[in-house]
Each structure stands twice: as structure tokens, then as C-alpha cells.
Amino acid sequence: MFFCALGKICNYETDRHRGGENVREARRTEVIVVGAGLAGLSAALALYDRGIDVIVLEAQSRVGGKVLSVVEDGVTVDYGAQWISPHQPRMKALLARFGLTTVPTFAKGDALYVLRGDRMRGNGDRPPLGWTGKLDLFRIRRKLDKLAGTIDPGAPWKSAAAPELDALTMETWLEKAAFSTAAKSFCRAVAEEGLCARLSEVSMLDVLWDYVSAGGVDKLMTAEDEWIAGGTQQLPAKMAERLGDAVRPDNAVRTIRWGGGQVTAYTDREAWTGRRAIVAIPPTFTNRIAYEPPLPPDRDQLCQRIGQGAVIKFVLVYDTPFWRERGWSGSAYGETGPIQTVLDGTEPGQRLGVLAAMANGGHARRLGRLGKEERKTEVLRSLARFVGEKALEPVAVYEKDWSADPWIRGGYGGRFAPGVLSEFGPSLLEPVGPIHWAGAETATVWRMYMEGALQSGERAAEEVARALEAERPAGGSAARITR
Ligand SMILES: Cc1cc2nc3c(=O)[nH]c(=O)nc-3n(C[C@H](O)[C@H](O)[C@H](O)COP(=O)(O)OP(=O)(O)OC[C@H]3O[C@@H](n4cnc5c(N)ncnc54)[C@H](O)[C@@H]3O)c2cc1C
């Protein structure tokens, strides 16, 4: 009995590790894409548009990854990515291609700030700081832009200042660069939200890479200027619709084996062989796949060192957008948390008022350890510090802890601690045999944003298309395989 049970366990382990290798014969395609987030879908669509046969293997039963919209009691709730900048051409073009429109983020009235325990009103151009704080903030922004200007967004590890910047966390840099506690507090409130991590967890080189990839601090400040009417998930859903049955949900890739000019991906249900693969999942997750032969040491060591950050997004519905009547835009920023950023997510013409509130990094991790009711109480109290007691009376509260999602396990994207990018950075983008890498972490424009995810997919598709072209026998042309 004991040995029989042991045998079952061993067989199960083998099956789980090798995935569909034991249950199905591999089907053929030209390119295998792993992950149907925006990066994977963008890579697949770019190849499909060129007439190259492609399949997309997705672990979950839905597409979109960190993009997830659900209609809850008649309200569209965006649990994940929601906002875009007018300076994001790929998002704009793709939305237009699929007939989707954006709504400007409500910005009439003041933003609210809770800095060092005090509630203040202000806005992006008029931060609520005394004149020393304002002067200091101006200096900090100038320094950030100047430093970001020294970084090559295509290969930040090559920049002359990379070793020095990669030896610092943003916290140590800020402590040295700023002289006013008010300006430091303001910077912490804004930066921790974007990083989904404490400033003491993230390398300054990683932070500057974000800034330069977005086109500088001013452009980065426009990241939340618009949002997608009717829910962001319409975008990945339309992309997947275009790809048809090439998108294969409920197919977590467990093993990738390559050699002899081909690559095979095994899931628990299917196996696919192609000439190239694009792995479009966060680098941390790329290390949860078994590779045969194994990945080079530098690639594996890189992935061992990336933390995914943490975020819980709360969507709060009120009987009216009451903050607007009080002359507040609904935007709010705080250092002390647990809520650090709030934005108005009320659809135009909607009677109800909707606020989207984010707890990030250490705040998200602490809230995640509480029970649901305790967490809700803390979140409402935190919101009340921004918009007053009325915040305590929502009609509904929705939440998603993305660290608890087994296929996301973190925040907006992977973050690099000091020393990682300068030592292992090149392995982030370098293909391994026929395996190419995509995902918002590998973007060189708008890293960790939806725009970056799209660009990373396009870049990987371009690499693959070039490689296939180079390998094609003279006179041959691309042909879609009939399955
Ligand atoms: C709460 C939240 C709010 C955000 N807000 C914004 C915003 O307002 N604006 C913005 O631009 N960005 C925002 N972001 C960031 C944005 O969502 C991401 O940058 C982007 O969606 C990442 O896309 P991706 O395809 O690189 O990765 P992902 O979205 O993580 O997609 C990866 C996919 O791969 C799948 N997968 C993982 N492992 C496997 C495997 N072994 N086999 C098969 N499939 C696998 C996963 O299930 C997932 O579907 C937000 C993110 C979060 C979490």
C-alpha cells in the first residue's frame, strides 16, 4: 500500500513537471508564445499580422494577466491596470484599432495630500509644500531628470554611472539628495505607489530606468491622465478574439525543451513544437518553468533576484461622487498609508461615485495579512483621512490582492534590488537558443506599464521574425499552418 501510494506520488510529480509530454503528441506551429497578458498578446498579434503561425499558451482561464475588469452590480470594476498617458502611442493605436475609447481622469478641483500626518490641498503644479519644500522638490526633480538622462533605456547597465547608481536604493539617494522633510515625504508618497515597494527595496538604477523609459519625470506624471471607458479588459479580450483558437487558456507551461532547431512547450494538457518561443511572463515566473537544457547561470541568477512588489487595489462605490461637490478632484496621495493613492474612477454620466484606491509595497503586504473585515475598516479609515467621514459609508467595496493571485504574485511588475541590474542586466533581454523574452519588465519604453508590455511584445516578435527570415531556405515564404 505504502509503495503503491509512493509510486502514485512519483508518477504525479513526473507528469506535473513534464506537463503534457506524457499525455499528448506535440502539435506543430511556427512560434509558441507563453502568457496571454498584454505582452504575449502583442507579440502574437504582431506575428499573426505578418502571416506567421503562432499559438499562445496561457495558464489562467482568462486572458489579460494584470488587466482584469469585472461588472459588479452594474459597475465596471477595474481590479488591475486602468490608466494610460496621452504619450503612449501603442496603447492609443491599439485602442483605436479595436474601437475603444478613453475618458479623461476627473481633474476639476484640488487633489488631497496627507503628508507627515497633516491633510492638505494642492495639485500637480501646486504641491502643498512650504517654499523650502517647493524649492527642494524642484531641485529633486531636476536631479532625477539629469541622472535619468545619463541612462541608456535600451541597456541601463552599460551607462557609465550604472555601478554607482546600482549600489544605492532610492531611499538612500533621497536621504542624500533632499534637505526638506516635507519634500522627502511628498516623494515617498508618489514613488512608493509606482514601485509597489518601499524605496529601501529598490535600486536607484531601476528607478531611473523607469523615468528615462517614460521620457522623463514630466511625462511619467501624465501616466494617469486617461482611462479606458467600459473597462481595460476589453483590450486583451479583443486582441485574443482576433487570434481566435490560437489562444489556449488553462495551459500553464511547465517545461520547455529545445534543440535541433526546434522548441517544445509542455503544459498539463498539451504540447506544442515550433521554431521559436516567446516567453512573455514576469522573469520571476520564467524560473518556475523547467528548461531542458537548463538556462545559462546568469539568466537563472537574475531571476532568483527579482521581487514582484505588492499591491492591493480597492474600488469603492458611493451613492454620489460627493468629493466633487466639495471642490476635490478625487485624486489623493499620502505617505503614511495604508492607502497611498486614490483616483476618481466614476464613468461619465454615472450617478454613483467610484474611487480607486491603492495600497502598495509594505502597506499592501501588511493589509494582506489581515482578515477581510479588518482590512476594510483600515482602508475606509485611511480614505476618511483624505476625503472625510463620508468615506466610511460606501455602497460597495471591491478588492484584489495581486500578491495572492497565483499567476501574478505581486505588484505592477518585477523590481531590482541594488547590484542586480549592473551584474545580470544583459540576461534580461538576451535570447537563450530559440527562446526570446517579453513582458513589461523587459520593456525599454514605459517599463512596467501597459504601453511597455505592448512594446516588449513587439520587440520580441521583431527578433523572432528576423530570426525566422534568416533561417528560411532561399525562395521560401511564411505560411500559416492549418491545424
Ligand atoms: C493593480 C494594478 C494596477 C495597475 N495599474 C496600471 C495602470 O493604471 N496603467 C498601466 O499602464 N499599468 C498598470 N499596471 C501594470 C500593468 O498591468 C502591467 O505592466 C502589464 O499588464 C503587464 O503585462 P505583461 O503581459 O507583461 O504581464 P502579465 O499581465 O503578468 O501577463 C503574464 C501572463 O502570463 C501568464 N503566465 C504566467 N506564468 C505562465 C506559465 N507558466 N504558462 C502560461 N502562462 C503563464 C499569467 O497568467 C498572465 O496572464 C497595473 C498593475 C496592477 C497589478
- Long-range contacts formed by 323-327: CB under 8 A, 24+ apart: 323/109, 323/353, 323/355, 323/387, 324/106, 324/108, 324/109, 324/353, 326/109, 326/387, 326/388, 327/109, 327/110
pLDDT tens by residue, 256-303: 999 999 999 999 999 999 999 999 999 999 999 999 999 999 999 999
Give the chain's count of helices (H) and strands (E).
Answer: 17, 24
Asked if the model's pLDDT at residue 54 lies above 90, the reply is yes
Asked if the model's pLDDT at residue 386 lies above 70, the reply is yes
Q: pLDDT-derived band of residue 14, with 50, 70 and 90 as boundaries?
A: very low
Percent of the chain at pLDDT above 70? 93
Asked if the model's pLDDT at residue 419 lies above 80, the reply is yes
Q: Which fold has domain 132-220?
A: Guanine Nucleotide Dissociation Inhibitor; domain 1 (1.10.405)
Counting from 1 in the atom list of ligand 1, the atom nearest the Cα of 41 is: 25
Q: What was the pLDDT predicted at 128?
A: 87
Q: Is the CB of 253 under 6 A from ligand 1?
A: yes
Asked if the model's pLDDT at residue 2 lies above 50, the reply is no
Q: Is the CB of 290 under 6 A from ligand 1?
A: no
Q: Taking all residues of the chain, what is their mean pLDDT, rounded to a whole number?
A: 92
Q: What was the pLDDT predicted at 6?
A: 36
Per-residue pLDDT averaged across 23-36, rounded?
Answer: 91
* 122 exposure class (CB count in 10 Å sphere: 0-12, 13-18, 19+): middle
More confident residue, 124 or 145: 145
Please list the residues that pair with 70 across neighbouring strands.
77
Counting from 1 in the atom list of ligand 1, the atom nearest the Cα of 412 is: 51
DSSP annotation string for 17-50:
HHGGGGTSPPEE-SEEEE--SHHHHHHHHHHHHT
Asked if the model's pLDDT at residue 3 lies above 60, the reply is no
Q: What was the pLDDT predicted at 479?
A: 54
Domain spans of the chain?
16-64+233-306+417-471, 83-108+225-230+309-404, 132-220
Query: What are the φ/ψ torsions at residue 128 (nearest 5 degrees)?
Result: -80, 65
Asked if the model's pLDDT at residue 478 lies above 80, the reply is no
Q: Is the CB of 267 under 6 A from ligand 1?
A: no
Q: Is the CB of 66 under 6 A from ligand 1?
A: yes
Per-residue pLDDT averaged across 473-483, rounded?
Answer: 59
Most ligand 1 atoms within 8 A of CB, residue of 226, 239, 281, 409 to mutate: 281
Q: Whose CA is nearest to atom 51 of ligand 1?
A: 412
Q: What was the pLDDT predicted at 156?
A: 97
Q: Which of 10-24, 88-102, 239-253, 346-360 has the lowest mean pLDDT?
A: 10-24
Asked if the model's pLDDT at residue 473 lies above 80, the reply is no
Grid cell digits, residue 393: 459609508
Q: Which fold has domain 83-108+225-230+309-404?
A: Polyamine Oxidase; Chain A, domain 2 (3.90.660)
pLDDT tens by residue, 156-191: 999 999 999 999 999 999 999 999 999 999 999 889
Q: Is the CB of 424 under 6 A from ligand 1?
A: no
Q: What was the pLDDT predicted at 163?
A: 96
Asked if the model's pLDDT at residue 13 lies above 60, the reply is no
Asked if the model's pLDDT at residue 389 lies above 90, the reply is yes
Domain 16-64+233-306+417-471 has CATH 2.40.50.140: no
Annotated binding-site residue numbers for FAD: 58-59, 253, 441
Per-residue pLDDT averaged across 375-384, rounded?
Answer: 97
Q: pLDDT-derived band of residue 225, with 50, 70 and 90 as boundaries?
A: very high
